Amino acid sequence: MIDFVKMTEELNNEKPKAKSTLAYKGSIDHMEKHMKQDKEPVIIESPFDIEIASSKLKADSVKELVKEAEAFVVETEPQAKQALNMAIQARTMRKSIEESRKQIVRPHLDFNAAINKVAKDFSTCLDGISNKLTVKVNKFKSELEKIYEKAEVKVEVKNIESEEAQPYERESIYIELQDIKKVPREYLSFDKAKAKKAVQMGVREIPGLKVEVKKVTSYRTKNTGVKKDESKNI
């Protein structure tokens, strides 16, 4: 059995990598200085304290940055470069927050996964018992019907009822694809992900679809070893 309290204590005793955050106060220098000073490890004093978790994720710093970014004006090349630096550092902060989030929720996810597995195992076992016994009862009823039919005795075999089980009739729907060409369009779906993958592989013409491959300028942090396909649009 997983000891949730022990897992949380172990998390608090860990020494994670230094976290950097961002709080822009009017200049890139101040921003970088703030990021260098903020290297406290993420420690959650209470497992389910949202306010503490929010403080560890630097929610206030993010809100302040949003205000500064919205007010920032780009009218010159130096301002454009400054805006790019802000954007890259905002991305760095986002990565830091994501790492902190994973560290905070990890013990809860592990505990939740363990409980779900135990419950699922029991549920699967119990469902199997119920289904197997029901099949046996229905088979017994069918055998009775065959016996009366063979004996040419007109007797209606009723559904079997017990002290705890009451029978009822329900509809069970089964659909089998026989000829996809005859299926109306409203029952067909468009696989956009498959089409996009085909275009990425070099396909440029797909009947019924308009395919465009546009050049989009993206930016990534310098000298960090980040692969080109891992960069995201700003």
Consecutive 10-residue runs of the chain (234 residues): their mean pLDDT?
Answer: 43 42 42 49 55 65 81 90 87 84 86 92 93 91 87 82 85 87 90 93 92 84 58 49
What pLDDT, on the 0 to 100 scale, is given for residue 56? 62
What pLDDT, on the 0 to 100 scale, is given for residue 90? 85
What pLDDT, on the 0 to 100 scale, is given for residue 66? 84
The domain total for the chain is 1
Question: Within a domain: residue 90?
Answer: yes
Q: Residue 108: how many CA atoms within 13 Å on its side-chain side? A: 11
What pLDDT, on the 0 to 100 scale, is given for residue 47? 55
Judge whether 188 and 202 are in contact, CB under 8 Å. Answer: no
* Amino acid (1-letter code) at residue 109: L
Question: Within a domain: residue 12?
Answer: yes
Question: Within a domain: residue 188?
Answer: no
Domain of residue 101 covers 4-124
Question: Within a domain: residue 208?
Answer: no
Judge whether 47 and 56 are in contact, CB under 8 Å. Answer: no
Question: Within a domain: residue 89?
Answer: yes
> Whole-prediction pTM value?
0.44
What pLDDT, on the 0 to 100 scale, is given for residue 136? 93
Question: Within a domain: residue 88?
Answer: yes
What pLDDT, on the 0 to 100 scale, is given for residue 159? 84
What pLDDT, on the 0 to 100 scale, is given for residue 53? 65
Angle, CA of 142, 145 and 151, to the nearest 5°: 145
Calpha distance 156→141 (Å, rounded): 11
What pLDDT, on the 0 to 100 scale, is given for residue 197? 94
Question: Within a domain: residue 159?
Answer: no
